[in-house]
């Protein structure tokens, strides 16, 4: 039997998804018996020219992690789409933008200015900013240019499946790989390796169904009761609006769910679904009281859309109003804003 051809790519992300694949441990040996890795630049020395030279649809499955933030990310997404039969958005960045997607709030010029000039640890007296092109006597140096907006993989090319998580849990990855190996993939468009419940359904904490707090708290402000629902103790927990799959990892470690497995089945917009669940917990309170307590939430966009802003309805409305693929002003045509 011919071995499967497998590719793994890392676009704009932290690298945790590649580590999650390494965490397959001994399953990697099983995988090696049935699949050849034909492209995994993070782990082995492949060149884009090697992929370019492959026949179209030569790769059976590509696990693509990372958001589309640079012109290089978009180029490789198109290239791998051309060469791959089953393209999988692997992890939260590729699926929904994740933390890089929060950069869409203020845009890439703000991110470059902030990272290069004003963080407390920055030492940059010349005020230099990264630039996409730089002329040297030896020739022109180039860097991938940032686009105006961070996009999900599916906003750039069609995909077959997604695997949620930041990063995906290794058991879930193996479930997905087993479905590939046994040729038992579900309907195109499905999530792989997860079921349709929410994190709350996997959480062992007791829920009364009622939130009775004067203000919401941040995790460092409280040592929560280990038995009771964290949301009902005043910590914003995204469990009610988040897809199951991790086994309620964070809540079992005394931390609220941040929502990294993306919107629960049937929820169009994770942030709106979470807000809805929280407001429902205040049933019986006046609108004014609910608004007063909600106003104590620190960083509402970062809290409700920490992982899903890039794929949210909020972002899509913004995308409709802006040219999302354009290169950011600071880097356009090799201009240097410094
Ligand atoms: S809101 Fe959080 S702590 Fe409460 S039941 Fe759901 S997952 Fe558990
Ligand atoms: S509990 Fe929430 S934030 Fe933590 S791993 Fe699970 S889905 Fe992600």
Report the separation in Å between the CA atom of 101 and the middle of ligand 1, taken as the mean of its atom positions.
25
What ligand has the least distance to the C-alpha of 205? 1
> Which stretches within 154-299 are classed as H helix?
170-181, 199-202, 249-252, 270-281, 287-294
Q: Ligand 2 within 6 A of 260 CB?
A: yes
This prediction has a pTM of: 0.91
273 near 313, Cβ under 8 Å? no
Total residue length of the chain? 338
Q: Are 185 and 86 in contact (CB under 8 A)?
A: yes
Per-residue model confidence (pLDDT) at position 142 = 93
Q: Write down the domain spans for the chain.
A: 4-100+149-181, 199-307
Ligand in nearest proximity to the CA of 164: 2
Q: Helices in the chain by DSSP H: which ranges?
A: 16-22, 27-34, 48-52, 71-83, 92-96, 98-101, 108-113, 170-181, 199-202, 249-252, 270-281, 287-294, 300-304, 313-321
Q: What is the pLDDT of residue 330?
A: 55
**pLDDT tens track of the chain, all 338 residues?**
689 999 999 999 999 999 999 999 999 999 999 999 999 999 988 899 999 999 999 999 999 999 999 999 999 999 999 999 999 999 999 999 999 999 999 999 999 999 999 999 999 999 999 888 999 999 999 999 999 999 999 999 999 999 999 999 999 999 999 999 999 999 999 999 888 899 999 999 999 999 999 999 999 999 999 999 999 999 999 999 999 999 999 999 999 999 999 999 999 899 999 999 999 999 889 999 999 999 999 999 999 999 999 999 877 776 665 544 455 555 554 443 32
> Of the candidates 193, 189, 192, 194, which has an alpha carbon nearest to the alpha carbon of residue 160?
189
Q: Are 181 and 34 in contact (CB under 8 A)?
A: yes
Indicate the class that CATH gives domain 4-100+149-181. alpha beta
193, 243, 248, best to mutate for ligand 2 pocket (most atoms within 8 Å of CB): 248
Rounded-to-integer distance, Cα 76 and Cα 59, Å: 14
Cβ(7)–Cβ(62) under 8 Å?
yes
DSSP code per residue over 81-112: HHHEEEEEEESHHHHH-HHHHGGGTT-HHHHH
Which ligand has the minimum distance to the alpha carbon of residue 202?
1
Q: How far is the CA of 47 from the centre of ligand 2 (A)?
A: 35
Q: Is the separation of the CB atoms in 35 and 87 below 8 Å?
A: no
148 CB near ligand 2 (under 6 Å): no
Q: Distance between CA atoms of 11 and 31, rounded to whole angstroms?
A: 23
User: What is the model's pLDDT at position 327?
Assistant: 52
Residue 252 in contact with ligand 2 by CB distance below 6 A: no
- The answer to whether the CB of 250 is under 6 A from ligand 2 is yes
- pLDDT at residue 314, as a whole number: 78
* Cβ-contact 254, 209 below 8 angstroms: no
Say if CB 37 and CB 8 are below 8 A apart: yes
Pocket of ligand 1 (CB under 6 A): 199-200, 203, 205, 207, 229-231, 237, 239-240, 248, 251, 257
Closest ligand 1 atom, residue 239 Cα: 7
DSSP for 315-327 reads HHHHHHHS-TTSB
* Nearest bound ligand to the CA of residue 259: 2
- What pLDDT, on a 0 to 100 scale, did the predictor assign at position 331? 56
Give the span between the Cα atoms of 220 and 104, in whole angstroms: 28
84-90: strand order across its sheet? 35-39, 4-10, 59-65, 84-90, 161-163
Q: Determine the pLDDT at residue 334.
A: 43
For residue 165, the ligand 2 atom closest to its alpha carbon is: 8
């Amino acid at each position: 039997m011919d071995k499967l051809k497998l590719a793994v790519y890392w676009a704009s992300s932290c690298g945790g998804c590649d580590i999650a694949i390494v965490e397959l441990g001994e399953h990697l040996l099983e995988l090696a018996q049935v699949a050849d890795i034909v492209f995994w630049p993070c782990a082995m020395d492949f060149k884009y020219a090697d992929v370019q030279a492959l026949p179209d649809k030569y790769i059976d499955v590509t696990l693509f992690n990372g958001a589309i933030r640079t012109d290089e990310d978009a180029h490789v997404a198109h290239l791998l789409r051309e060469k791959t039969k089953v393209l999988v958005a692997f992890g939260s960045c590729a699926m929904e933008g994740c933390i890089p997607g929060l950069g869409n709030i203020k845009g890439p010029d703000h991110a470059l200015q902030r990272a290069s000039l004003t963080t407390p640890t920055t030492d940059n007296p010349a005020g230099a900013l990264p630039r996409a092109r730089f002329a040297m006597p030896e020739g022109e140096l180039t860097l991938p240019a940032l686009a105006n907006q961070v996009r999900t993989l599916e906003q750039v090319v069609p995909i077959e499946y997604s695997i949620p998580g930041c990063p995906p849990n290794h058991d879930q990855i193996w479930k997905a790989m087993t479905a590939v190996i046994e040729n038992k993939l579900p309907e195109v468009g499905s999530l792989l390796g997860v079921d349709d419940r929410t994190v709350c359904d996997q959480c062992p904490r007791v829920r009364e169904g009622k939130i009775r707090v004067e203000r919401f708290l941040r995790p460092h402000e409280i040592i929560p009761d280990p038995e009771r629902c964290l949301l009902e103790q005043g910590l914003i927990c995204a469990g009610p609006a988040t897809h199951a799959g991790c086994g309620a990892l964070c809540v079992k470690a005394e931390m609220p769910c941040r929502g990294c497995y993306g919107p629960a089945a049937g929820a169009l917009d994770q942030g709106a679904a979470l807000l809805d669940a929280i407001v429902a917990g205040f049933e019986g309170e006046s609108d004014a009281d609910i608004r007063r307590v909600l106003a104590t939430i620190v960083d509402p966009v970062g809290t409700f859309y920490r992982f899903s802003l890039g794929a949210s309805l909020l972002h899509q409305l913004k995308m409709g109003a802006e040219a999302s693929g354009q290169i950011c002003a600071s880097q356009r045509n090799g201009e240097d804003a410094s």
